[in-house]
Amino acid sequence: MVSPKYVIDPKEGGEKKAGERTDPFRWMIDDCSSIANRGAETYYSGSFTACGFTWKLRLELVLEGDGEKYVGLYLSHVDAVSKNSVIKAIYKLFVYDQLHAEDIQKEGEDYFHSTSHDGFCCKIALNKFNSSKSGLLVNDCCIFGAEVLEAFSCKLDKEGLIHESLSLKKDLTPRIYTWVIKDVSKLTKILFAEVFAAGGYNWRICLYPNLPSFEDFLSVFLIMTNAASLSSKTRVYVDFSFCLLDQHNAKHWKLTVKHLFSSENRYYGCRNFLSREDVRDPSRGFLLNDTCIIEASVVVLGVDTIA
């Protein structure tokens, strides 16, 4: 998977705002041992401004991981929830050690947007957090904090990033085509059904009574008849099925396939769809008066474009 790449967005005042940096934001919580013993709960600080953007801290009590329990601290971008923007921030998260006057901190960078407005997590093991020797909890008081070093307004850089894109269709109503084939026992050559339309493209079923390499099987394929008109970078994503109807017992024989059709790959199907022995078996009901019925269901899921 290709990782998203962002560039500074000049339309959104994307210049570096380090010059507007404020002092570290510190958040003190009293009676902290009681909330730490309540289990998994979430607490938010008030909002604060740093590097021209609005933030708040989020505290998770208690995170579970690797059989251990943790206190987790996050930085949240307040505006990212409602605005269609991406903010890149370089920042620190810390828990203040009150006995030794120093911070336990984690520094890094993150992108904040409407679907991911929380950054990385600064985790402290719960047993360490509660230990009187750690200095993190003194007189039942703890201090958390964040320092935003730099922040940028960004946009997604699509050049060189997107290798392929799939545009999905909203209307997924299948097109059902029924093909009645008579005189099956006399078949000696390839048969083609009539052309039918589905999802804006033209299709037809192709039936091989016995391919040389699969002479004991019935082979069936779906062909996109107008595939030559497609761009060399365009592929059509199709969900289709073949169903040989059991005219006696309604125990039909069905195959479902998903495939990308293109100008160079215009047909797809199954060489060994069903053995000729099974087709001819009177108890299976696939032949009635030397006639079989094949149904094709075709749904165009979307169009795939190669960059």
Burial of 177 per CB tally in 10 Å (0-12, 13-18, 19+): buried
Among the listed residues 220, 196, 217, the one whose alpha carbon sits nearest the alpha carbon of residue 206: 220
Alpha carbons 238 and 300: distance in angstroms, whole number: 5
Among the listed residues 286, 240, 245, 246, the one whose alpha carbon sits nearest the alpha carbon of residue 261: 240
Query: What confidence tens digit (pLDDT) does each residue in 85-99 have?
Result: 678 888 999 999 888
**Which residues lie below 8 Å from residue 64, measured CB to CB, with a gap of 6+?**
40, 70
Question: Given this model, what pLDDT does residue 10 score?
Answer: 45
Map out the domains of the chain with their CATH numbers.
6-156 (2.60.210.10), 165-306 (2.60.210.10)
C-beta contacts of 246-251 below 8 A and 24+ residues apart? 246/284, 246/285, 246/286, 247/285, 247/286, 247/287, 247/288, 247/293, 248/283, 248/284, 248/285, 248/288, 249/284, 249/285, 251/284, 251/285
Alpha carbons 183 and 230: distance in angstroms, whole number: 36
Q: Which residue has the tokens 């600064």?
A: 122
Question: Given this model, what pLDDT does residue 12 score?
Answer: 46
Alpha carbons 40 and 256: distance in angstroms, whole number: 45
Among the listed residues 28, 305, 293, 68, the one whose alpha carbon sits nearest the alpha carbon of residue 166: 305
Question: Given this model, what pLDDT does residue 286 score?
Answer: 94
Question: Given this model, what pLDDT does residue 211 score?
Answer: 64
Residue 290 gets the label, from left (phi > 0), alpha (psi -120 to 50) or beta, of left
Query: What confidence tens digit (pLDDT) does each residue in 164-190 have?
Result: 677 888 888 999 999 999 998 888 788
Say how many Å lie between the first and final Cα of the chain, rounded.
Answer: 15
Alpha carbons 62 and 59: distance in angstroms, whole number: 9
Query: What's the mean pLDDT when you consider all of the chain?
Result: 82
Q: Which residues of the chain have pLDDT under 50?
A: 1-8, 10-21, 81-82, 160
- pTM (predicted TM-score): 0.50
